[in-house]
Amino acid sequence: MPRPIRATIAVSALQHNLAVARRHAGTRHVWAVIKANAYGHGVEVAVQAFQEADGLALLDLDEAHRARAAGWRKPILLLEGFFEAKDLAIVERLGLTAVVHHEEQVKMLEQHKGGGAQPIGVYLKLNSGMNRLGFDTPERARSARTRLEALGHVRIEALMTHLANADRIDPNQGPASVAEQVARFHELAAGWNGPTSLANSAALFFHPAVAGDAVRPGIVLYGAAPDPTHVAAALQLRPAMSLRSRLISTQSLGAGMSVGYGAQYVATRDVRIGVVACGYADGYPRHAPSGTPVAVLGVRVPSVGRVSMDMLCVDLSALPGAEVGAEVELWGDQIPIDEVAAAAGTVGYELMCALATRVPVQVEPA
Protein backbone atom coordinates (compact mmCIF):
# COMPACT_ATOMS: atom_id res chain seq x y z
CA MET A 1 0.00 0.00 0.00
CA PRO A 2 1.32 3.49 -0.77
CA ARG A 3 1.66 6.00 2.04
CA PRO A 4 -1.80 7.56 2.47
CA ILE A 5 -0.94 11.23 2.03
CA ARG A 6 -2.06 12.90 -1.20
CA ALA A 7 -2.88 16.33 -2.59
CA THR A 8 -5.90 17.03 -4.75
CA ILE A 9 -6.14 19.91 -7.24
CA ALA A 10 -9.65 20.90 -8.32
CA VAL A 11 -9.67 22.41 -11.82
CA SER A 12 -13.24 23.62 -11.28
CA ALA A 13 -12.11 25.69 -8.27
CA LEU A 14 -9.33 27.29 -10.30
CA GLN A 15 -11.81 28.16 -13.05
CA HIS A 16 -14.25 29.57 -10.50
CA ASN A 17 -11.58 31.75 -8.89
CA LEU A 18 -10.49 33.12 -12.26
CA ALA A 19 -14.10 34.04 -12.97
CA VAL A 20 -14.28 35.90 -9.64
CA ALA A 21 -11.08 37.77 -10.47
CA ARG A 22 -12.45 38.55 -13.93
CA ARG A 23 -15.54 40.15 -12.39
CA HIS A 24 -13.31 42.42 -10.33
CA ALA A 25 -11.17 43.22 -13.38
CA GLY A 26 -14.07 44.26 -15.59
CA THR A 27 -12.80 44.92 -19.09
CA ARG A 28 -9.13 44.95 -18.12
CA HIS A 29 -6.64 42.43 -19.52
CA VAL A 30 -6.16 39.58 -17.03
CA TRP A 31 -2.74 38.00 -16.65
CA ALA A 32 -3.17 34.80 -14.60
CA VAL A 33 0.01 34.48 -12.56
CA ILE A 34 1.34 30.90 -12.59
CA LYS A 35 4.89 31.34 -11.31
CA ALA A 36 6.39 28.80 -8.90
CA ASN A 37 4.80 25.94 -10.81
CA ALA A 38 1.43 27.68 -10.55
CA TYR A 39 1.87 28.14 -6.80
CA GLY A 40 2.43 24.41 -6.46
CA HIS A 41 -0.63 23.45 -8.50
CA GLY A 42 1.25 22.61 -11.72
CA VAL A 43 1.82 24.67 -14.86
CA GLU A 44 0.03 22.13 -17.03
CA VAL A 45 -3.00 22.16 -14.70
CA ALA A 46 -3.03 25.96 -14.80
CA VAL A 47 -2.98 25.96 -18.61
CA GLN A 48 -6.06 23.73 -18.54
CA ALA A 49 -7.83 25.76 -15.87
CA PHE A 50 -7.08 29.30 -17.02
CA GLN A 51 -8.16 29.12 -20.64
CA GLU A 52 -10.39 32.17 -20.09
CA ALA A 53 -7.44 34.35 -19.00
CA ASP A 54 -5.99 36.80 -21.51
CA GLY A 55 -2.46 35.67 -20.77
CA LEU A 56 -0.24 33.80 -18.32
CA ALA A 57 2.41 35.52 -16.22
CA LEU A 58 5.27 33.35 -15.03
CA LEU A 59 8.89 33.49 -14.02
CA ASP A 60 11.28 31.79 -16.37
CA LEU A 61 11.81 30.15 -19.72
CA ASP A 62 11.34 26.63 -18.36
CA GLU A 63 7.79 27.45 -17.24
CA ALA A 64 7.15 29.19 -20.56
CA HIS A 65 8.30 26.08 -22.46
CA ARG A 66 5.97 23.94 -20.35
CA ALA A 67 3.02 26.26 -20.93
CA ARG A 68 3.55 26.28 -24.69
CA ALA A 69 4.04 22.50 -24.74
CA ALA A 70 0.75 22.14 -22.85
CA GLY A 71 -1.02 24.02 -25.64
CA TRP A 72 -1.13 27.64 -24.42
CA ARG A 73 -1.19 29.90 -27.48
CA LYS A 74 -2.14 33.21 -25.89
CA PRO A 75 0.40 35.75 -24.53
CA ILE A 76 2.92 34.83 -21.84
CA LEU A 77 4.58 37.46 -19.66
CA LEU A 78 8.03 36.81 -18.15
CA LEU A 79 7.78 38.63 -14.81
CA GLU A 80 11.55 38.98 -14.32
CA GLY A 81 12.26 39.24 -18.01
CA PHE A 82 15.34 37.60 -19.48
CA PHE A 83 18.68 37.03 -17.78
CA GLU A 84 21.17 36.62 -20.63
CA ALA A 85 21.39 37.87 -24.20
CA LYS A 86 21.00 34.33 -25.55
CA ASP A 87 17.58 34.13 -23.88
CA LEU A 88 16.20 36.57 -26.43
CA ALA A 89 16.21 34.01 -29.23
CA ILE A 90 13.99 31.78 -27.06
CA VAL A 91 11.77 34.73 -26.17
CA GLU A 92 11.24 35.30 -29.90
CA ARG A 93 10.74 31.64 -30.73
CA LEU A 94 8.11 31.16 -28.02
CA GLY A 95 6.45 34.51 -28.69
CA LEU A 96 6.91 35.80 -25.14
CA THR A 97 6.48 39.25 -23.63
CA ALA A 98 9.32 40.21 -21.29
CA VAL A 99 9.40 42.58 -18.34
CA VAL A 100 12.33 44.98 -18.67
CA HIS A 101 13.39 46.32 -15.31
CA HIS A 102 17.13 47.08 -15.57
CA GLU A 103 19.63 48.95 -17.69
CA GLU A 104 21.44 45.71 -18.59
CA GLN A 105 18.31 44.31 -20.19
CA VAL A 106 17.94 47.46 -22.29
CA LYS A 107 21.53 47.00 -23.47
CA MET A 108 20.89 43.37 -24.39
CA LEU A 109 17.89 44.38 -26.47
CA GLU A 110 19.93 47.10 -28.19
CA GLN A 111 22.63 44.58 -29.09
CA HIS A 112 20.15 41.93 -30.21
CA LYS A 113 19.73 41.72 -33.98
CA GLY A 114 16.12 40.64 -33.91
CA GLY A 115 15.16 37.51 -35.73
CA GLY A 116 11.51 36.98 -34.90
CA ALA A 117 8.53 37.43 -37.15
CA GLN A 118 7.16 39.96 -34.66
CA PRO A 119 8.87 42.55 -32.45
CA ILE A 120 9.67 41.46 -28.90
CA GLY A 121 6.91 42.74 -26.64
CA VAL A 122 8.06 44.29 -23.37
CA TYR A 123 6.49 45.57 -20.18
CA LEU A 124 8.71 48.36 -18.87
CA LYS A 125 8.81 48.16 -15.08
CA LEU A 126 8.95 51.29 -12.94
CA ASN A 127 10.02 51.23 -9.31
CA SER A 128 7.32 53.16 -7.48
CA GLY A 129 8.25 52.05 -3.97
CA MET A 130 8.70 48.26 -3.78
CA ASN A 131 12.43 48.94 -4.33
CA ARG A 132 13.29 45.58 -5.83
CA LEU A 133 13.05 45.91 -9.61
CA GLY A 134 12.39 48.76 -11.98
CA PHE A 135 13.57 52.19 -13.10
CA ASP A 136 13.37 54.52 -10.13
CA THR A 137 13.60 58.08 -11.44
CA PRO A 138 11.68 59.91 -14.18
CA GLU A 139 14.97 60.45 -16.01
CA ARG A 140 15.93 56.75 -15.99
CA ALA A 141 12.41 55.69 -16.91
CA ARG A 142 12.25 58.18 -19.80
CA SER A 143 15.69 57.17 -21.05
CA ALA A 144 14.82 53.45 -21.04
CA ARG A 145 11.55 54.12 -22.79
CA THR A 146 13.16 56.30 -25.45
CA ARG A 147 15.89 53.75 -26.16
CA LEU A 148 13.42 50.89 -26.44
CA GLU A 149 11.08 52.88 -28.68
CA ALA A 150 14.01 53.44 -31.04
CA LEU A 151 14.42 49.69 -31.63
CA GLY A 152 12.52 48.28 -34.56
CA HIS A 153 12.55 44.77 -33.10
CA VAL A 154 11.03 45.85 -29.76
CA ARG A 155 7.51 46.98 -28.92
CA ILE A 156 6.62 48.48 -25.53
CA GLU A 157 3.24 46.97 -24.67
CA ALA A 158 2.74 48.59 -21.27
CA LEU A 159 4.34 50.33 -18.33
CA MET A 160 3.98 48.48 -15.03
CA THR A 161 4.77 48.60 -11.36
CA HIS A 162 4.24 46.36 -8.34
CA LEU A 163 2.45 47.43 -5.16
CA ALA A 164 4.15 46.62 -1.87
CA ASN A 165 1.31 47.16 0.59
CA ALA A 166 -2.04 46.61 -1.10
CA ASP A 167 -2.59 43.86 1.48
CA ARG A 168 -1.77 46.07 4.48
CA ILE A 169 -4.55 46.52 7.05
CA ASP A 170 -4.34 50.26 6.46
CA PRO A 171 -2.80 50.43 2.97
CA ASN A 172 -2.76 54.22 2.87
CA GLN A 173 -0.55 54.61 5.92
CA GLY A 174 3.18 54.05 6.31
CA PRO A 175 5.92 53.89 3.68
CA ALA A 176 5.07 52.80 0.14
CA SER A 177 1.34 53.20 0.64
CA VAL A 178 -0.93 52.36 -2.27
CA ALA A 179 -1.80 56.01 -2.85
CA GLU A 180 1.86 57.00 -2.64
CA GLN A 181 2.94 54.31 -5.09
CA VAL A 182 0.21 55.13 -7.60
CA ALA A 183 1.17 58.80 -7.53
CA ARG A 184 4.84 57.90 -7.89
CA PHE A 185 4.07 55.59 -10.82
CA HIS A 186 2.32 58.36 -12.72
CA GLU A 187 5.27 60.65 -12.04
CA LEU A 188 7.67 58.04 -13.43
CA ALA A 189 5.39 57.40 -16.42
CA ALA A 190 4.99 61.06 -17.36
CA GLY A 191 4.40 61.45 -21.10
CA TRP A 192 3.26 57.84 -21.60
CA ASN A 193 -0.21 57.48 -23.09
CA GLY A 194 -0.21 53.71 -23.60
CA PRO A 195 -1.45 50.80 -21.46
CA THR A 196 -0.42 50.37 -17.81
CA SER A 197 -0.48 47.54 -15.29
CA LEU A 198 -0.51 48.11 -11.52
CA ALA A 199 -2.93 45.78 -9.75
CA ASN A 200 -1.94 42.52 -8.07
CA SER A 201 -4.48 40.32 -6.25
CA ALA A 202 -4.84 42.60 -3.24
CA ALA A 203 -5.21 45.76 -5.32
CA LEU A 204 -7.69 44.05 -7.64
CA PHE A 205 -9.95 42.99 -4.77
CA PHE A 206 -9.51 45.81 -2.27
CA HIS A 207 -8.53 48.92 -4.25
CA PRO A 208 -10.83 49.37 -7.23
CA ALA A 209 -9.56 52.93 -7.60
CA VAL A 210 -6.18 51.55 -8.71
CA ALA A 211 -6.62 51.87 -12.44
CA GLY A 212 -4.59 50.39 -15.27
CA ASP A 213 -5.33 48.37 -18.37
CA ALA A 214 -3.97 45.00 -17.23
CA VAL A 215 -4.17 43.21 -13.87
CA ARG A 216 -2.05 40.39 -12.48
CA PRO A 217 -4.03 38.21 -10.03
CA GLY A 218 -2.02 35.46 -8.36
CA ILE A 219 -2.90 34.01 -4.97
CA VAL A 220 -6.65 34.56 -5.35
CA LEU A 221 -6.70 32.22 -8.35
CA TYR A 222 -5.73 29.37 -6.04
CA GLY A 223 -8.38 30.08 -3.42
CA ALA A 224 -6.46 31.94 -0.72
CA ALA A 225 -6.98 35.49 0.51
CA PRO A 226 -4.39 38.12 -0.46
CA ASP A 227 -4.28 39.57 3.05
CA PRO A 228 -4.62 38.23 6.61
CA THR A 229 -7.71 40.29 7.48
CA HIS A 230 -9.96 38.55 4.97
CA VAL A 231 -11.29 35.02 4.70
CA ALA A 232 -11.10 33.50 1.24
CA ALA A 233 -14.66 32.19 1.38
CA ALA A 234 -15.94 35.69 2.14
CA LEU A 235 -14.29 36.80 -1.11
CA GLN A 236 -16.19 34.00 -2.91
CA LEU A 237 -12.98 32.06 -3.50
CA ARG A 238 -12.75 28.28 -3.40
CA PRO A 239 -9.66 26.33 -2.27
CA ALA A 240 -8.10 24.60 -5.25
CA MET A 241 -5.60 22.46 -3.32
CA SER A 242 -6.49 19.99 -0.59
CA LEU A 243 -3.89 18.08 1.41
CA ARG A 244 -5.23 14.89 2.97
CA SER A 245 -3.87 11.87 4.75
CA ARG A 246 -4.97 9.28 7.34
CA LEU A 247 -4.32 8.27 10.91
CA ILE A 248 -1.60 5.61 11.03
CA SER A 249 -1.53 5.11 14.81
CA THR A 250 -3.21 6.08 18.06
CA GLN A 251 -1.59 6.43 21.48
CA SER A 252 -2.91 6.98 25.00
CA LEU A 253 -1.17 9.53 27.18
CA GLY A 254 -1.61 9.94 30.89
CA ALA A 255 -1.33 13.28 32.65
CA GLY A 256 2.31 14.39 32.60
CA MET A 257 3.26 12.34 29.54
CA SER A 258 4.61 14.04 26.41
CA VAL A 259 4.58 13.29 22.71
CA GLY A 260 7.07 14.09 19.97
CA TYR A 261 10.53 15.61 19.76
CA GLY A 262 11.44 18.07 22.47
CA ALA A 263 8.43 17.09 24.59
CA GLN A 264 6.76 20.32 23.51
CA TYR A 265 3.32 18.97 24.37
CA VAL A 266 2.71 17.55 27.84
CA ALA A 267 -0.72 16.16 28.62
CA THR A 268 -2.52 17.75 31.56
CA ARG A 269 -5.04 14.90 31.68
CA ASP A 270 -5.57 11.51 30.13
CA VAL A 271 -5.73 12.05 26.38
CA ARG A 272 -5.83 9.95 23.23
CA ILE A 273 -3.46 10.99 20.45
CA GLY A 274 -3.73 10.29 16.73
CA VAL A 275 -0.64 10.09 14.50
CA VAL A 276 -1.08 11.48 10.97
CA ALA A 277 1.08 10.50 7.99
CA CYS A 278 2.16 14.04 7.17
CA GLY A 279 5.24 15.99 8.19
CA TYR A 280 7.50 18.82 7.16
CA ALA A 281 9.11 16.68 4.44
CA ASP A 282 5.68 16.70 2.79
CA GLY A 283 5.47 20.49 2.93
CA TYR A 284 3.54 20.90 6.17
CA PRO A 285 5.04 23.79 8.19
CA ARG A 286 7.44 22.49 10.83
CA HIS A 287 6.78 25.47 13.07
CA ALA A 288 3.02 24.97 13.21
CA PRO A 289 2.36 25.05 16.97
CA SER A 290 0.12 22.86 19.07
CA GLY A 291 -3.44 23.93 18.46
CA THR A 292 -3.12 24.28 14.69
CA PRO A 293 -6.44 22.99 13.30
CA VAL A 294 -6.69 19.65 11.53
CA ALA A 295 -9.88 17.90 10.41
CA VAL A 296 -10.28 14.22 11.33
CA LEU A 297 -13.42 12.54 9.95
CA GLY A 298 -14.68 16.05 9.21
CA VAL A 299 -14.26 17.28 12.78
CA ARG A 300 -11.79 20.03 13.68
CA VAL A 301 -9.23 18.90 16.24
CA PRO A 302 -6.00 20.54 17.47
CA SER A 303 -2.51 19.39 16.60
CA VAL A 304 -0.23 18.57 19.52
CA GLY A 305 3.54 18.57 19.79
CA ARG A 306 6.24 19.31 17.28
CA VAL A 307 5.72 18.46 13.62
CA SER A 308 8.32 15.88 12.62
CA MET A 309 9.65 14.92 9.20
CA ASP A 310 7.00 12.36 8.35
CA MET A 311 4.32 12.66 11.03
CA LEU A 312 2.31 15.01 13.18
CA CYS A 313 -0.01 14.32 16.08
CA VAL A 314 -3.55 15.44 16.92
CA ASP A 315 -5.74 15.36 20.01
CA LEU A 316 -8.60 12.90 19.49
CA SER A 317 -10.54 13.83 22.63
CA ALA A 318 -13.49 14.98 20.52
CA LEU A 319 -13.40 11.77 18.47
CA PRO A 320 -13.28 8.71 20.71
CA GLY A 321 -14.25 6.54 17.75
CA ALA A 322 -11.46 7.65 15.41
CA GLU A 323 -9.15 4.75 14.59
CA VAL A 324 -6.25 3.94 12.29
CA GLY A 325 -7.27 4.72 8.71
CA ALA A 326 -9.50 7.67 9.62
CA GLU A 327 -9.52 10.39 6.96
CA VAL A 328 -7.57 13.57 7.79
CA GLU A 329 -7.56 16.95 6.04
CA LEU A 330 -4.54 19.18 6.68
CA TRP A 331 -5.94 21.98 4.53
CA GLY A 332 -8.63 22.33 1.92
CA ASP A 333 -12.41 22.67 2.09
CA GLN A 334 -12.67 22.10 5.85
CA ILE A 335 -9.44 23.73 7.03
CA PRO A 336 -8.56 26.93 5.10
CA ILE A 337 -4.91 27.00 4.11
CA ASP A 338 -4.71 30.59 5.34
CA GLU A 339 -5.66 29.43 8.83
CA VAL A 340 -2.86 26.85 8.90
CA ALA A 341 -0.43 29.42 7.56
CA ALA A 342 -1.42 32.03 10.14
CA ALA A 343 -0.93 29.53 12.96
CA ALA A 344 2.56 28.78 11.64
CA GLY A 345 3.47 32.44 11.21
CA THR A 346 3.58 32.34 7.43
CA VAL A 347 1.27 32.81 4.43
CA GLY A 348 -0.75 30.47 2.27
CA TYR A 349 1.54 31.20 -0.69
CA GLU A 350 4.42 29.43 1.07
CA LEU A 351 2.44 26.34 1.95
CA MET A 352 1.18 25.91 -1.60
CA CYS A 353 4.62 26.34 -3.09
CA ALA A 354 6.25 24.08 -0.48
CA LEU A 355 4.20 20.99 -1.31
CA ALA A 356 6.85 18.28 -1.61
CA THR A 357 7.39 16.27 -4.76
CA ARG A 358 6.99 13.07 -2.77
CA VAL A 359 3.31 13.87 -2.22
CA PRO A 360 1.16 12.26 -4.93
CA VAL A 361 -1.07 14.79 -6.70
CA GLN A 362 -4.49 13.95 -8.10
CA VAL A 363 -6.09 16.42 -10.50
CA GLU A 364 -9.86 16.53 -10.43
CA PRO A 365 -11.11 17.61 -13.87
CA ALA A 366 -13.75 20.30 -14.17
Looking at the annotation, which residues are catalytic?
35, 261
Q: Return the HEC string of the chain.
A: CCCCCEEEEEHHHHHHHHHHHHHHHCCCEEEEECHHHHHCCCHHHHHHHCCCCCEEEECCHHHHHHHHHCCCCCCEEECCCCCCCCHHHHHHHHCCEEEECCHHHHHHHHHCCCCCCCCEEEEEEECCCCCCCCECCHHHHHHHHHHHHCCCCEEEEEEECCCCCCCCCCCCCCCCCHHHHHHHHHHHCCCCCCCEECCCHHHHHHCCCCCCCEECCCHHHHCCCCCCCCCHHHHCCCCCEEEEEEEEEEEEECCCCEECHHHCEECCCCEEEEEECCCHHHCCCCCCCCCCEEEECCEEEEEECCCCCCCEEEECCCCCCCCCCCEEEEECCCCCHHHHHHHCCCCHHHHHHCCCCCCCEEEECC
